């Protein structure tokens, strides 16, 4: 399993996934569900799922891999892809590519940089990306575009948006509205804030299982079974750039620690999901609703750390076995 070009041993991987789910669940601290979205406050932190979609098109899954969960900020990867596809490098006039070192919902840096968010994965950046998509297709069009993209990646539309979660996020979204207002004040926000907010909370409220999310992540794998990028060098180039942002900014101010422990580009959401990519090899989704202090899934990160160590998957190279 260590050679990325070798066919992955699915039986060995299945055994490993089952063992990792068990080992991670035995960890004494399961973290705390997000308290920022009323409808997600009471999520069960004793649940953990993992699914691995391989380059060959196989899926290995364990634990609660079929339970749908709120993808939240993982949706920012899908909207970023759509915005980059539509706008190309023009998008970078409106949002940066630097890690923030601040929590995902911090507004402080936005004033300092005159409404120009540091990256597309913190909330102010994601809101500007959604605003840029709304410029093209309007609010409802934005939600539809994200849904259609995910459906295309999955090859099915057996998933939905949780309206209660969306409403809850919108009602409690004072800080998000403040960020949008700050960007608007500096001329970096074009559409009606309420329309963009609605589109944003709706894409965040998409529910997918680990099995579905791992499959949806295949557009970032660059190569392999059915990967969209494989047929289109432009899409592959975009995917590689999105991966670089996932590496540096995907877990907010926990991105450095995550790179150290897991060694893969990944994107987390406060619903407890994480999408991690092993370039040219696999797309991995984990979910456990208990979060660490940076808002990243505690058991999900631990499960990824155990997995990548055991199968020797890292963008930082392979460990010689002799
Ligand atoms: N919808 C959430 C918010 O805007 C997403 C945050 C997250 O997943 N980090 O607060």
Q: Give the CATH superfamily of 10-67+210-218+242-311.
A: DD-peptidase/beta-lactamase superfamily (3.40.710.10)
Classify domain 73-206 by CATH number. Answer: 3.40.710.10
Weakest mean pLDDT among 48-57, 157-166, 225-234, 263-272: 225-234
pLDDT in tens, 120-155: 999 999 999 999 999 999 999 999 999 999 999 999
Beta bridge partner(s), residue 161: 206
Residues enclosing ligand 1, CB less than 6 A?
Answer: 36, 72-73, 104-105, 123, 169, 176, 204, 269-270, 295
Distance 140 CA to ligand 1 centre (A): 19
Top mutation candidate among 123, 130, 143 for ligand 1, by most atoms within 8 Å of CB: 123
Q: Which atom of ligand 1 is nearest to the CA of 72?
A: 8
pTM of the entire structure?
Answer: 0.96
CB-based contact 229:219 (threshold 8 Å): yes
Alpha helices in the chain (DSSP H): 10-25, 75-87, 108-112, 123-154, 163-171, 174-185, 193-204, 210-216, 233-249, 255-261, 298-311
Q: Per-residue DSSP letters for 198-249?
A: HHHHHHHTEEE-HHHHHHHGGGGSSSSTT-GGGG-HHHHHHHHHHHHHHHHH
Closest Cα to atom 2 of ligand 1: 72
Q: What is the pLDDT of residues 94-124, one digit of tens each?
A: 999 999 888 888 899 999 999 999 999 999 9
User: What's the 176 CA to ligand 1 centre distance in angstroms?
Assistant: 9
> For the segment 260-292, what is each residue's pLDDT rounded down to a tens digit?
999 999 999 999 999 999 999 999 999 999 999
Mean pLDDT of the chain, nearest integer:
94
* Ligand 1, atom 4, residue with closest C-alpha: 123
DSSP 8: P
In the chain, residues under CATH classification 3.40.710.10 are 10-67+210-218+242-311, 73-206
Strand partners of residue 53: 59, 283
- The pLDDT tens digits of the residues spanning 164-195 come to 999 999 999 999 999 999 999 999 999 999 99
Average pLDDT over residues 293-311: 97
Question: Can you tell me which atom of ligand 1 is nearest the CA of 74?
Answer: 8
């Amino acid at each position: 399993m260590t050679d990325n070009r070798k066919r992955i041993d699915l039986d060995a991987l299945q055994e490993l996934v089952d063992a990792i789910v068990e080992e991670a669940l035995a960890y004494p601290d399961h973290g705390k569900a997000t308290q920022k979205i009323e409808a997600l406050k009471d999520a069960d932190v004793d649940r953990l799922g993992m699914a691995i979609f391989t380059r060959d098109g196989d899926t290995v899954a364990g634990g609660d891999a079929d339970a749908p969960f709120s993808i939240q900020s993982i949706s920012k990867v899908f909207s970023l892809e759509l915005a980059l596809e539509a706008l190309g490098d023009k998008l970078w006039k409106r949002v940066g590519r630097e890690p923030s070192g601040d929590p995902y919902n911090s507004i402080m840096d936005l004033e300092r940089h005159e409404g120009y968010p540091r990256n597309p994965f913190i909330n102010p950046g994601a809101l500007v990306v959604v605003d840029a998509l709304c410029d093209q297709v309007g609010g409802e069009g934005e939600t539809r575009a994200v849904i259609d993209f995910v459906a295309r990646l999955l090859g099915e539309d057996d998933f939905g948006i949780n309206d209660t979660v969306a409403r809850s996020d919108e009602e409690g979204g004072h800080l998000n509205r403040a960020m949008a207002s700050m960007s608007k004040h500096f001329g970096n926000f074009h559409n009606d804030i309420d329309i963009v907010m609605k589109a944003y909370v709706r894409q965040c409220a998409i529910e997918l299982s680990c099995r579905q999310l791992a499959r949806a992540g295949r557009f970032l794998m660059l190569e392999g079974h059915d990967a969209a990028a494989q047929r289109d060098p432009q899409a592959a180039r975009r995917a590689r750039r999105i991966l670089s942002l996932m590496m540096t900014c995907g877990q907010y101010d926990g991105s450095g620690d995550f790179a150290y422990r897991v060694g893969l580009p990944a994107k987390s959401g406060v619903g407890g999901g994480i999408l991690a990519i092993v370039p040219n090899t696999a797309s991995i989704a984990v979910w456990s609703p208990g979060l660490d202090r940076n808002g990243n899934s505690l058991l999900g990160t631990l499960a990824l750390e155990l997995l990548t160590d055991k199968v020797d998957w890292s963008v930082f190279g392979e460990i010689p076995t002799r």
